[in-house]
Amino acid sequence: MSQLSVENLDVYYGAVHALKGVSLHAEAGEIVTLIGANGAGKTTLLRTISGLVSAKSGRVMFEGRDITRVPAHEIVALGLSQSPEGRMVFANLSVEDNLELGAYRRKDKSEIRKDRDAMFQLFPRLLERRKQLSGTLSGGEQQMLAIARALMSRPRVVLLDEPSLGIAPLLVRDIFRNIVEINRRGVTVLLVEQNAHMALSIARRGYVLETGKVVLEDEAAKLAANPEVRAAYLGG
């Protein structure tokens, strides 16, 4: 049984058929990546898994439990969290408050503090800015905060939506190194990326999504070598 599996998911955004029978799975301890062009449905898929968008048909299973109809705020408590596209940090709150909100469903105060310090170790730039309003951070720092905040709920699976979007290339490498580290600590990662090159370099397996359908799935290394993928997503 996979830790997370999506089975035949159909999702509509108004009249738009955004996901057409999508299936995928992630095994415990994996980094799985989902690549595809803008508008392919990657973000919709993550939002559906997190319960923000409701599915027309199909289901989402998490650790043996059907979470298709579970509301978003309960899914977090089950151990599946997300760092959303566009980061969505709470701009008018401090870095610390953002992290605290990430642990909103937890009651173990001293453990929360430990986890917060662990996040500061993983992302030292956030430590320097802990009292600063998160709206004043750079794009890369906000991305780090969004990831750290998603980890504060102690998820067993984390969904990362475009962590490289609009971020300086140097920081992108840092962030990907952090993702590998997070995964090494036992968190399963489902990574959505337009930066297919980076994503395939750290993932074990990958899926290619085109206009709402999974068109390819394979081991990441094989996808990276696939001529079609190279032509479409890796710039030849």
Q: Does 166 bind another protein (CB under 8 A)?
A: no
Candidate segments 11-19, 84-92, 179-187, 224-232, binder of another protein by CB under 8 A: 84-92
Please give the Cα distance from 149 to 96 (Å, whole number): 9
Q: Does 72 bind another protein (CB under 8 A)?
A: yes
* Complete DSSP assignment for 32-49: EEEEE-TTSSHHHHHHHH
Q: Does 71 bind another protein (CB under 8 A)?
A: yes
Q: Does 153 bind another protein (CB under 8 A)?
A: yes
Please give the Cα distance from 201 to 138 (Å, whole number): 25
Q: Does 92 bind another protein (CB under 8 A)?
A: yes
End-to-end CA distance of the chain: 36
Q: Does 111 bind another protein (CB under 8 A)?
A: no
Q: Which of 51, 73, 75 lies closest to 63, judged by CA?
A: 75
CB nearer to another protein: pick between 75 and 223: 75
Q: Is 44 exposed, middle or buried (0-12, 13-18, 19+ CB in 10 A)?
A: buried
CB nearer to another protein: pick between 83 and 183: 83
Q: In the range 39-58, which residues lie near another protein by CB under 8 A?
A: 50-52
Q: Does 93 bind another protein (CB under 8 A)?
A: yes
Residues 6+ apart with CB under 8 A from 107: none
> Residue from 43, 81, 142, 226 that binds another protein (CB under 8 A)?
81
CB nearer to another protein: pick between 33 and 50: 50
- Residue 62 has which token pair? 């998490």
Contact map string, positions 169 to 198, toward another protein, x by CB under 8 A: ------------------------------
Q: Does 73 bind another protein (CB under 8 A)?
A: yes
Angle at 175 between CA 204 and CA 82, to 5 degrees: 75
Q: Which of 43, 39, 49 lies closest to 16, judged by CA?
A: 39
Q: Does 231 bind another protein (CB under 8 A)?
A: no
Length of the chain: 236
In the complex, minimum distance from the CB of residue 220 to another protein, in angstroms, rounded to a whole number: 26
In the complex, minimum distance from the CB of residue 197 to another protein, in angstroms, rounded to a whole number: 27
Q: Does 77 bind another protein (CB under 8 A)?
A: yes
Q: Does 97 bind another protein (CB under 8 A)?
A: yes
Task: List Cα–Cα distances, 235 to 57, 88, 102, 116, 151, in angstroms.
Answer: 35, 29, 37, 39, 32
Residues engaged in binding another protein (CB under 8 A):
50-52, 71-74, 76-77, 81-82, 84, 88-93, 97, 100-102, 104-105, 149-150, 153
